[in-house]
Structure 1
Amino acid sequence: MTDPRHAQPRTPPTDVPYLRQVKSYVLRAGRTTTAQAKAYEQYGPRLLLPFDKERPFDARAAFGRDAPLVLEIGFGMGGATAHIASVRPEDNFLCCEVHEPGVGALLKLAGDGGLDNIRIVRHDAVEVLDHMLGEASLDGVHIFFPDPWHKTKHHKRRLIQGPFVNRLARKLKPGGYLHLATDWQPYAEQMLEVLRAEPLLHNTVSDEHGGYAPKPDYRPLTKFENRGLKLGHGVWDLVWRTAPKTP
């Protein structure tokens, strides 16, 4: 989950290819702590996966089992991701984040917590989606609190746009789900508009409820969400699915 209040640096780092396209992340400053660095050394060899554009992702080889596969795009410091993985041990979670301290934090949470259903790719999720994941390969996708790019002139940088949602929908298996969450109402409204325009997806709730879903039990409240709720700010969840497989 990317904290939307961090600004994007004016120049990208040299080790991340800069493409003129929407990315799944906002580059943020931050130092890796000693504990996070130790987690890289201790748990990285088992839980970190390389970005490989030459061959499809092999979930069975990566996790050592066959299980439903959920892609998480942008997990911030990993607290919610670790919680979800702990309450859904029957599912595998492939998690993408470029923020080094965040990756270190999730490595520590997963390693210390004995969570073997998490694997992490420290790379732009858009490229992971395009190069590593085949069509109908995912059972679910989580994108929680992506950067809302508040200014109108920056709306084109928002991740949730028609072409990207179509790509996500094509990666989902029949009956697979896409779960979005945001605490910025104008972005929630855009998300809903984009989802309604995607013919491969249908809403799990009726328009009588405004099109937004109740927060699923597996998604915990983040510290930023709790702070916002105390200030009277809203949070909007959207859960859409592909059509189930016909007999």
Structure 2
Amino acid sequence: MTSQTTAPAIAPDDRAHDDRPGAPVSPELHREQRIRSFHPRKGRMSTAQHDALARSWDGYGIRVDGKRALDLDAWFGRPDPRVVLEIGFGMGDATATMAGAEPDRCVLAVDVHTPGHGNLLRRIESDGLDNLRLAEGDAVVLLRDQLAPQSLDGLRIYFPDPWPKARHHKRRLIQPEFVALAASRLRSGATVHCATDWEPYAEQMLDVLSASPELANLHADYAPRPDWRPVTKFERQGLAKGHVVRDLLFRRV
């Protein structure tokens, strides 16, 4: 197991509504009048996931509360760390694999799936991933209220909910307002990498990202699938259904 640093921005009573030791709090506690791109998902946890939360959440995780900015240097224990924000990591196995392959790069992974947090903490312990930290809650609040401008070296969004019904398209994460916010938190030269197996959403991603004056496409349209991006569970499911997977790679100008 890796040595732990103390995670910032957690008040003593932040987990008062959950009787599992070390468990994060539902993002519903941070309420806003805003259309969300996600539903909070608790789900059933295995004993191993539960125990990893109890052991390691305080050292590696925070709840997104929108109350104070994160000190990324102190949290990762590195001066001026190269931090990539990953939004929506699922069970976290692909996230852990990428973090292990790039020990000089730090990863801040945010999701609302409690079993996924437990599983990723288990991987942090077993793989010795000192460069990986977790956040539980709304990624928009995290970006807007807790991450400083030009503090990120990259953004990863792999297989977000496509909200396929037309009346739900407003819930999709990749919208002009979100891209403008995310771009403001990226350093010059930072990379935005998105992937989806839902073709209409890929088209929307391409249109929205291309329209941003702060971003430049690294390819003519879609990017070749990078070898360093592990195949995720959602990707395997999409491929099994005959879907075409699209990657998009943009750079902050």
1:8 paired residue number: none
Report the CA distance shift for 1:229/1:52 in structure 2 as closer, same or farther (over 3 A).
closer
Aligned counterparts of 2:51 and 2:68: Cα–Cα separation in 1: 30
Is residue 26–residue 147 contact of structure 1 (8 Å, CA) maintained in 2?
no
Kindly report the root-mean-square deviation, in angstroms, between the aligned alpha carbons of the 2 structures: 1.7
Aligned length: 227
> Equivalent of 2:129, from 98, 112, 115?
115
Q: Which amino acid aligns with 2:46?
A: T
Report the CA distance shift for 1:223/1:192 in structure 2 as closer, same or farther (over 3 A).
same
Structure 2 residue 57 is matched with structure 1 residue 40: no
Report the CA distance shift for 1:190/1:44 in structure 2 as closer, same or farther (over 3 A).
same
Is residue 23–residue 126 contact of structure 1 (8 Å, CA) maintained in 2?
no
Which string of whole-angstrom CA distances, capped at 9 and with x for unpartnered residues, describes residues 133-154 of structure 1? Answer: 1111100011111100010011
Gaps in structure 1 of 5+ consecutive residues: 1-12
- Displacement of 1:18 after TM fit? 3.6
Aligned counterparts of 1:54 and 1:231: Cα–Cα separation in 2: 42
Q: Which amino acid aligns with 2:205?
A: M
Is residue 66–residue 146 contact of structure 2 (8 Å, CA) maintained in 1?
yes
- Displacement of 1:219 after TM fit? 1.0
> Equivalent of 2:179, from 138, 160, 165?
165
What SS is found at the alignment partner of 2:195?
A: strand
2:163 paired residue number: 149
Q: Which amino acid aligns with 1:77?
A: M
1:134 paired residue number: 148
Aligned counterparts of 2:234 and 2:68: Cα–Cα separation in 1: 38
**4+ runs deviating over 4 angstroms:** none
Pairs within 5 Å for 1:45-60: 45-60=58-73
Is residue 183–residue 233 contact of structure 1 (8 Å, CA) maintained in 2?
yes
- Displacement of 1:16 after TM fit? 3.0
Aligned counterparts of 1:23 and 1:16: Cα–Cα separation in 2: 14
2:3 paired residue number: none
2:113 paired residue number: 99
Is residue 97–residue 125 contact of structure 1 (8 Å, CA) maintained in 2?
yes
Q: Which amino acid aligns with 1:152?
A: A
Report the CA distance shift for 1:177/1:213 in structure 2 as closer, same or farther (over 3 A).
same
Which string of whole-angstrom CA distances, capped at 9 and with x for unpartnered residues, describes residues 6-25 of structure 1? Answer: xxxxxxx6953342324353
What SS is found at the alignment partner of 1:77?
A: coil
User: Which piece of structure 1 moves more, 39-48 or 145-154?
Assistant: 39-48
> Equivalent of 1:229, from 239, 250, 253?
239
Which string of whole-angstrom CA distances, capped at 9 and with x for unpartnered residues, describes residues 90-115 of structure 1? Answer: 10011111111111111111111111
Structure 2 residue 206 is matched with structure 1 residue 192: yes
Pairs within 5 Å for 1:43-82: 43-66=56-79, 67-82=81-96
2:32 paired residue number: 19
Which string of whole-angstrom CA distances, capped at 9 and with x for unpartnered residues, describes residues 11-41 of structure 1? Answer: xx69533423243533335112111110012
Aligned counterparts of 1:15 and 1:25: Cα–Cα separation in 2: 11
